[in-house]
Structure formats: structure tokens, C-alpha cells
Structure 1
Amino acid sequence: MDGEAAAPLVPGVRIRLLRRNDASGLSEAYRRNRRHLAHWEPERDEAFFTPRHQLDIIRAKLVQHSTGQEVPWVLVGHDDPAYILGAVTLTGIARGPFLNANLGYWVDSSLNRRGIGSAAVRFATDHARTELGLHRIQAATLLHNEPSRKILGRAGFREIGVAPQYLKIAGRWQDHLLHQLLLHS
């Protein structure tokens, strides 16, 4: 999928690669979802929510993408490809004998429980299998993040263990449940 095309994901939502000109849209999406995402992400300072900071993040992600280490997608409105509704990303792509990536995603709080997260995860896992030739994808969720655990389960991920104090989320080190999906067994 090239950087210009936006593929249908579910009715009303499309998915496409992140673009440099998405800084304002991401800034707006993060501001709109600030309270919702605060429970699941690192603490963010005020600068994070600005277009300038989002542009810095986008630039870094696009460099990682150009070197084959990351694939950053955004979820956008069907009628407005600049209106960002979430993101899904494969990061830390490793080649060689590992052929692995980490999966991360979020969906606008107004769209929860509509199958969008599940569709985005399936899209990313299909891409990892068919386009990247990866063997495995891993994901981590907070132990109490039942919706995300269900999304991963529906996509075929299996829980493989708990990582104590894995990430600093919402201001404190928290345990995470690790998941994996084997793409080629």
C-alpha cells in the first residue's frame, strides 16, 4: 500500500500510511482523545499535543519506515482523509532469524466497540505476513485492558506471560500481559 492510497477498513473508516502533513490531524486526534488514552499510554506533556511536536514524531517514524524498521498507519474518515480516527503501527521490525515486530494501536473513543480496532489489527497482521514476510508479531496490554485483550484474541494472538513493570504507563511502572501471533508455523 503506497503512501497516497487509503484502503477501506470498515464502513466509514479507511487506513493509510502516515504522512508528513498529518501533524495537525494527529494533534487534534490526540487532544480529542486525551482523557481516553491517558489510562493506556505514557504521561504526555503539553507539547505532545501540538502540531509541531507531532511533526517531529512523524519525521522520526517516517525515517524508521524508510529503513524498514516501522510501518505507521493512521485510520481516517472515509470522506475526509485528513480526519484522523486512530493509528496502528508495527515497530521494532527485526529481520534475520527473528522476523518479528511489535504491534501498537488506538482508536478514537467515539468509535469504540464498532470492530475498528479488530479490523486495524487484522490489516496490520495481514500486511506483516504477506508484505513483510514476518514470522511473529508481539503485543503488550495492561492486565486490566480487557477490550484490547479481546481484540488481540480475536486476531489469533495468544497470551504468553506477564512482564512485571514492563512500561511506564499513566505515570507508573505497570505489569503487562504479553501476546504473540505466529504468522508462519
Structure 2
Amino acid sequence: MTDAIRPLGAGVRLRPAAVADAASFAEALTRSRAYMKPWEPVRPESYYTEEGQRERLAALLADREAGRVMPWVLGDADDRVVGAVNLNGIARGSFRSAILGYWVDVAYAGRGLATAAVRTVCELARDELRLHRVEAGTVLANAASQRVLAKCGFEEFGLAPRYLHIDGAWRDHRLFQRILHDGPVTGDPSPS
């Protein structure tokens, strides 16, 4: 079940996000703000507050209930947020795809946690959500994220000029995908 807690290593576990994580998210995002700046959109100051995170998480969980997103948290031994992974834009029907997003707290970077989390989420996407593929994009200069995707079986399939507004400008992105299976479409036949 996608609600299960999964160990990732180094005392960190993957679990579903909750509104109760708002204060911990605000702390981790504030701590990692400068580290993640080159890869993130410009955010309002409220984004880095507990209230801003509570509002963001409430909206994210409403989208989860609607089947559009699956948000997870990387929690340390004390269950503090040290990263997150989301499957966004989940499409059903004949497409069966989602867009992957992830980040790891600056204090936990370089420990293999992003790789472990992405692998685990891809397994959940295949086995429990029954998706066919997962897509991800990175700013051209984000070599660390590109290494994570390569280690997790993603293949580059394109270049998207001026794809997302990141760090104050429209940035070109490398696009990656991982085909999870080529089996028949089973389960929920609803269109996307």
C-alpha cells in the first residue's frame, strides 16, 4: 500500500506526507533554501513558514484524495522532514503516467537518500499505482539530480527549452523517463 512506511537507509524512512508535517517542512526548507535556490522557483516568504506549509500540505492532500498526486516525506529517526518525493499530474486511462519531483535537506545531501527514495517511489508507482511510466525534468546544470535519475533507470528523452521558471528565469530542462512495465492495462480503466 502507498501508505506504508519504507526504510531508505541512514535511519531515514519514506512515509506519506501529512498536514502535521508543516512545522518540520518549514524548518527543512528554510535550512535548505540557499542550497536548493538554483533548482527551485522563486517562492514567497510565506512558503517558508509553518502556516504556509500547512496551507500547501492541505492542498496537496486534497489533490491526493482526488488521485492527482502522491506526496511522501523522508523522515529522520525523530520523524523530522529531511526531504520529500511527489508523483504529480498522475494520469490514468491509457497513459498511466506521472511526473516525479524530489528534494533532500542540505544536511542529508550526498548520502544516497534521493536515489533510495526515487527507486522506492518508482516501485510503488509500478506495483501499487499500476503506472506505466514516470517522467522527470532537471535544469541543465543539475548534474546531481541527473545522476540520481540515471542510477534509478531513467533515460533522457528530450530537451525542453524554457520549460520552467526556476530561480527567476525560464530555464531549459533535460527530460527523463522511466518505463515501469510494458504489461497490459489493468485495474482502473478511467480516463485521465
| TM-score class normalised by the smaller sequence | over 0.9
Runs of 4+ in 1 over 6 A off after TM superposition: none
The gaps in structure 1 that reach 5 residues or longer are: none
Q: Please say if 1:88 is aligned against 2:85.
A: yes
Question: Share of identical aligned residues, percent?
Answer: 45
Q: Please say if 1:115 is aligned against 2:112.
A: yes
Query: 1:10 is matched with which residue?
Result: 9
Aligned CA-pair RMSD: 1.1
Q: Distance in 1 between matches of 2:9 and 2:166?
A: 30
Q: Secondary structure at the match of 1:39?
A: helix
Contact 2:2 2:124 in 1 (8 A): no
Contact 2:135 2:175 in 1 (8 A): yes
Q: Distance in 1 between matches of 2:109 and 2:64?
A: 28
Q: Which moved more, 1:94-103 or 1:109-118?
A: 109-118
Q: Distance in 1 between matches of 2:19 and 2:73?
A: 12
Q: Distance in 2 between matches of 1:11 and 1:29?
A: 17
Contact 2:42 2:168 in 1 (8 A): yes
Question: Which deviations, in whole Å up to 9, do the C-alpha atoms of 1:18-74 show, x marking residues without a partner?
Answer: 011111010111111010111110001211101111111101110111111111001
The gaps in structure 2 that reach 5 residues or longer are: 183-192
Contact 2:87 2:99 in 1 (8 A): yes
Q: Distance in 1 between matches of 2:154 and 2:170?
A: 24
Aligned length: 182
Q: Distance in 2 between matches of 1:10 and 1:139?
A: 23
More contact order relative to length (CA 8 Å, sep ≥ 6): 2
Q: Secondary structure at the match of 2:100?
A: strand
